[in-house]
Amino acid sequence: MITIQGKSVFGGVSIGKLMFYKRNEKVIKREHISDADAEWKRFEAAKGQAVDQLKELYEKALEDVGEANAMIFEIHQMMLEDLDYLESIENIIRSQEVNAEYAVATTADNFAQMFASMDDAYMQGRAADVKDVSERVLDILCGVSAGVKEMTEPCIIAADDLAPSETVQLDKSKVLGFATMYGSANSHTAILARTMNIPAVIGLGETLSSQYDGKMAVIDGFTGILYVDPDEETLARMQEKRAKDLEQKELLNQLKGKENVTRSGQKINVYANIGNVSDLGAVLKNDAGGIGLFRSEFLYLENSTFPTEEQQFAVYKQVAESMAGKKVIIRTLDIGADKQVDYFNLDKEENPALGYRAIRICLTRPEIFKTQLRALYRAAVYGNLSIMFPMIISVSEVKKIKEIIAQVQAELKAEGIPYKEDVELGVMIETPAAVMISRELAKEVDFFSVGTNDLTQYTLAIDRQNQKLDTFYDPHHPAVLAMIKMAADNAHAEGKWIGICGELGADLELTEEFLKMGLDELSVSPALVLPLRKRIRECE
């Protein structure tokens, strides 16, 4: 097996035979001519023919890949009318008294080099375009047709690089993937591969040798790896990865943009859980309606010292802006228990899960809490942000939180720093105490989010970290479900909304039960948003 690392331009896995793209060979010779006017006319005629071909290609691309991507062939037509390009060709023909082929090839090389040496990645990508369009004129001048090899079976196309026109002319139904030695992620070939939903890796270098033509290969478009002659284990692993990816893509096709609604019309919000800004892409890709839990403690876990207000503000603002008005619920830091951070200097405890963690740290070390709250209230200006607090067990904790919020707002106001006044506030329901007093808590906040991971641990007295107890850790336990129902009833009795952000929210065996309880929201890992939407739409 040969493993070659490249750069992924489109995810997905493709498995099949490698076929090297072969172009019709033409040799461009420098020839002396005696009639420069006639040679220039010969070029103009070829250029006219090339423009006609590009018009046809534009129509084909319009159908296959849409207007935005078809534009490239209009740009190619414009390149052929570019005065600098034409002047260069005419000047070479007349001053050097040489054939049009040589003048076009030389101009193409010069222009491509000029583009490639520019700082701007977009302009660098144009080097491939000027070569592509010049090749077209050269084919016409040399009397050869553009080189598309007949494809008898679906295969992975390998090439040094593929020009946009070469890409669009391939029989899409037979292309499993693209693997190229060179190319940039901004090239139109890369853009077309993404639009055509075809896994692609570029920049594989010269290790991608044409001696592999006809061999079995796998493109892992997620990691940018090309496997040639994969061994059994790799092939099996890649087949499984491909099956999962196809299943997810199928779900996306069916369900993207659809409502989370049952057959009888009951609606529920499906949001996503994240730990980091890098998860945002997955949230948007999987069409989540919002972020139901941003575990902000990951910011602290990834840092070697307390993240500053500015650092936090930048992250929260980015998340709020990226979600463009959709709800973003940020949970204040939940450090302690299994999430230990050295610079917090927490004492070693006998029972960390029952110890000094989450809101207990925030309320006793308000300087840490206030920094986070300042960042959150400032970021709230940039989107639809809500704040929720973990491990709540009493109304007095909520009252203390509100006092601290009032101080933070007063300080921001005095400093003239913009912030949002009325941010939605919620508490996590993850202790039996919170469930039992949920009617009182509901009077104090705007929403509840049930943390079933901890609620199960504290209800069943089972350490969620202890593997030996896995068979006893039963989140379907009637006591846990009764707790969720009680919290839901109390939230609704006070006109507040309630969701689940613990793992149980994604348990499809319980979706129907949660709908019956009248839960308003379920927040799950991004990849589980669409399977959950599917399940909801199957429920009565």
Shortest spacing between CB 385 and ligand PEP, in angstroms: 18
132 binds Mg ion (CB under 5 A): no
Cβ nearer to ligand PEP, comparing 293 with 530 = 293
- Is residue 23 marked as binding? no
Shortest spacing between CB 428 and ligand PEP, in angstroms: 7
Distance of alpha carbon 401 from alpha carbon 489, whole angstroms: 24
- Is residue 453 marked as binding? yes
Question: Using the rule CB under 5 A, which residue among 12, 203, 224, 451 binds Mg ion?
Answer: 451
Shortest spacing between CB 387 and ligand PEP, in angstroms: 15
- Is residue 35 marked as binding? no
336 binds ligand PEP (CB under 6 A): no
Distance of alpha carbon 408 from alpha carbon 406, whole angstroms: 5
Q: Where are the beta strands (DSSP E) in 106-224?
A: 155-159, 175-180, 200-202, 216-220
Shortest spacing between CB 487 and Mg ion, in angstroms: 14
Q: What is the maximum span of the chain, computed from C-alpha positions, in angstroms?
A: 99
By CB atoms closer than 10 A (0-12, 13-18, 19+), residue 97 is: middle
452 binds ligand PEP (CB under 6 A): yes
| Contact window for ligand PEP (CB under 6 A) among 64-72, 186-194, 409-417, 452-460 | 452-460
- Is residue 454 marked as binding? yes
Marked catalytic residue, from 155, 188, 362, 539: 188
Residue 424's beta-bridge partner residues? Answer: 386
Residues 419-448 that bind Mg ion (CB under 5 A): 430
3-state secondary structure string across 431-464? CHHHHHCHHHHHHHCCEEEECHHHHHHHHHCCCC
Dihedral sign computed on CA atoms, order 315, 318, 321, 323: negative
Question: Using the rule CB under 6 A, which residue among 16, 352, 502, 526 binds ligand PEP?
Answer: 502
- Which letter does DSSP use for residue 160 in this model? S
Dihedral sign computed on CA atoms, order 48, 49, 51, 56: positive
- Closest alpha carbon to 499 in 518, 526, 525: 518
Phi and psi at 538, nearest 5°, equal -90, -20
| Catalytic residue list contains 32 | no
Question: Using the rule CB under 6 A, which residue among 139, 397, 430, 507 binds ligand PEP?
Answer: 430
276 binds ligand PEP (CB under 6 A): no
Distance of alpha carbon 406 from alpha carbon 179, whole angstroms: 58
Distance of alpha carbon 100 from alpha carbon 90, whole angstroms: 8
Marked catalytic residue, from 155, 362, 501, 539: 501
Question: Using the rule CB under 5 A, which residue among 135, 297, 454, 520 binds Mg ion?
Answer: 454
Shortest spacing between CB 437 and ligand PEP, in angstroms: 18
| Contact window for ligand PEP (CB under 6 A) among 52-60, 140-148, 377-385, 447-455 | 447-455
501 binds ligand PEP (CB under 6 A): yes
| Contact window for ligand PEP (CB under 6 A) among 233-241, 310-318, 396-404, 445-453 | 445-453
Shortest spacing between CB 64 and ligand PEP, in angstroms: 45
* Beta pairing class for 7-10 and 447-450: unpaired
CB atoms within 10 A of CB 59: 12
334 binds ligand PEP (CB under 6 A): yes
453 binds ligand PEP (CB under 6 A): yes
The residue written with tokens 């991507």 in the block is 69
Q: 436: which 2 tokens?
A: 């039992």
290 binds ligand PEP (CB under 6 A): no
Shortest spacing between CB 454 and ligand PEP, in angstroms: 3
507 binds Mg ion (CB under 5 A): no
**3-class DSSP assignment, residue 12:** coil
| Catalytic residue list contains 188 | yes
Question: Using the rule CB under 6 A, which residue among 295, 327, 357, 533 binds ligand PEP?
Answer: 295
* Beta pairing class for 200-202 and 7-10: antiparallel
Q: Under the rule (CB under 6 A), what is the footprint of ligand PEP?
A: 293, 295, 334, 430, 451-454, 501-502
So which residues are the catalytic ones?
A: 188, 501
Q: Under the rule (CB under 5 A), what is the footprint of Mg ion?
A: 430, 451, 454
